[in-house]
Amino acid sequence: MTSPVVRTNNLVKTYSTDGIKTPALRGVNLEVQAGEFSALAGPSGSGKSTLLHLVGGLLSPTSGEVWIEQQRLNDLPPDQMAQLRLKRVGFVFQAYNLLPVLTARENTEFVMELQGIAEKERKQRALELLDVLEMGQYADRYPNKLSGGQQQRVAVARAVASRPALVLADEPTANLDSKNSENLMGLLRKLNQERGTTFLFATHDPQILKNVDRVVTLHDGRVSSDSGA
């Protein structure tokens, strides 16, 4: 049996501000298998974004373990953590985080360029993905000339262009209307099915929750239900 893409063991995260400790996660155990199309749900403050950021190595746990494939994140020095994120994990942020001085195609190519992929291949991959995401005609536009929905599609293209094992998406539809949310989810599902990309969302958007195969619900930093259990 293959190892899960994501595994957490008794994961705890406590924030400390001015001596006041605020628990965000209280012992979360989670496994995500290759090819899953899953979501973390729950109200604001439930811990879903914190869990997503811990899985992606953007935060360090207070205690417990995080594994990506065969790699225990707790053991990794910063340079190796950066390499793991670069090569194995794609991120889609609520704020898009596109580079304003790069076109849609260049933004899509950016992670691949960091990986050292040859210019011809990364350009081909970028244009193919932008076409899949119905953004091919806007490949040479800069972010300030794109709508919010278009920028989000470019952010998705950038996240999956490097062919990561896992894509983490934090509230990816928060800035979209219902029609664009539905369209984006359809396109992500297509990438999941055709490329086998594993997706894990953090969201409270019903449009996402009705489209995923599994919903893990958090409440006060604990898993309260898991439709895949």
Range 69-80 average pLDDT: 90
The CA-CA-CA angle for residues 42, 46, 50, to 5°, reads 110
Strand partners, 167: 90, 199
| Mode of pairing for the β-strands spanning 214-219 and 20-32 | unpaired
Assign 229 a pLDDT band (cuts: 50, 70, 90).
low
Cα separation, 23 vs 17, in Å, equals: 11
CATH of 6-226, one of 3.40.50.300, 1.10.3470.10, 3.90.660.10, 3.40.50.1100: 3.40.50.300
CA 121 and chain centroid, separation: 23
Tell me: pLDDT of 42 over 80: yes
Tell me: pLDDT of 1 over 60: no
Name the residue ranges covered by the structural domains of the chain.
Answer: 6-226
For the segment 76-107, what is each residue's pLDDT rounded down to a tens digit? 999 999 999 988 999 998 778 899 999 999 99
Query: What does each C-alpha distance from 3 to 57, 70, 112, 188 come to in angstroms?
Result: 19, 7, 26, 24
